[in-house]
Amino acid sequence: MLRKALLLSCLLGLLLAAPASAATIRMDMNAIYPESNFHSQGAIEFAKKVEAATNGGVVITVHAGGALGFKGPELLRSVKDAAVPMSDILMGVVGGSEEIFGISSMPRVATTYEEARKFYDIARPAYEKACERWNQKLLYAAPWPPSGIFAKRAMNTPDDLRGLKIRTYDRNGALFLEAAGSHPMSLPWGEVYSALQTGLADSVLTSAVSGKDGKFWEVLSDFAEIGYAFPLNMVTINLDWWKALSKEQQDAMLAVAAEVEASQWQVSATQNAEAIAAVKAGGIKVQTPPAAVQERLDEIARKMLDDFLATAKPETKAVFEAYLK
């Protein structure tokens, strides 16, 4: 509460002071992942370029690795309430708060970077409106590399999915894997490795990049590239902080955001290829599962999408209609 009060007090001072261009505006940005992660590196690059583009008028301090103490599910509200002025947010984790944020992790809707980009471009206006409803502005978003399954066995038949004690990152993943016969669980990322060591979990739905960062070859043996989804990580700013910026500063920040977004999409693809090579070098056997497995996963994904759209909001349905036509 004290931290929030101090931040709000600083913001009020900015709003009541002379025009924003007359003084440097300083703000903190929460970054979920370790500093070495490409999403955090993108945030750091964004901050550097914003400072340069505004001639030092806007200075953003990036706190990587969740150092500020904010956690995934609460981030949408944390930025809304200005408990932190800016943050990156894994969209699927806040899908329970705003339906549209869950769509990027709907299974097998996008199976290539090209499809993921098309899906994002169509959905972007809806994402922006959702952010506004939560008193924030969407600056940019970029995907994680495609999610696959790290496990202690290959996925050679649909039965190999059964019984997996598998860590997932959002509700969509849990529903998908439960339908496949697995036993999904939710764990903070920092607890995943120890869970694999102790046997609490024996598999993980995640990207090759996360598998590399987690050194999963020490506890697991296989990675199945199932092309599950390209979950989006977005960066937002509290609207009150945004409005405290001058028009010139806002324009500069948006220009930098567009530049960093384009770069981060390219970096994601590059990081995926490098991570696949790294986990192979560590001893992980990488496979593209055979047709029988893919067909079963497609069957589950189609039913999930049908069930989801049956009760989805009109704006969500409109995104899928435009994407799938």
Q: Give the tens place of pLDDT for each residue, 289-305.
A: 999 999 999 999 999 99
Residues 6+ apart with CB under 8 A from 255: 53
Phi-psi region of 158 (alpha: psi -120 to 50; beta: other; left: phi over 0): alpha
Give pTM, 2 decimals.
0.87
- What's the residue count for the chain? 325
Helix, strand or coil for residue 190? helix
Q: Which CATH class is domain 2-143+231-273?
A: alpha beta
Q: How confident is the model at residue 20 (pLDDT cuts 50, 70, 90)?
A: very low
Residue ranges covered by each domain of the chain: 2-143+231-273, 147-229+282-324
- % pLDDT > 90, the chain: 88
CB 204 within 8 A of CB 279: no
- CATH number for region 147-229+282-324: 3.40.190.170
CB 257 within 8 A of CB 131: no
Distance CA 43, CA 47 (A): 6
Amino acid 19: pLDDT = 43
Q: Which tokens hold the place of 160?
A: 């190999």
Give the mean pLDDT of the chain: 93
Taking each helix axis from N to C end, the angle separating 314-324 and 291-311, rounded to the nearest 10 degrees, works out to 140
Give 281: exposed, middle or buried? Use CB within 10 Å, 0-12, 13-18, 19+: exposed
Residues 6+ apart with CB under 8 A from 241: 11, 14, 27, 82, 85, 86
Amino acid 141: pLDDT = 99
| One fold for 2-143+231-273 and 147-229+282-324 | yes
Spatial CA neighbour of 21 closest among 194, 317, 256, 251 = 251
Q: Which amino acid, 57?
A: G
Residues 6+ apart with CB under 8 A from 260: 42, 45, 46, 49, 140
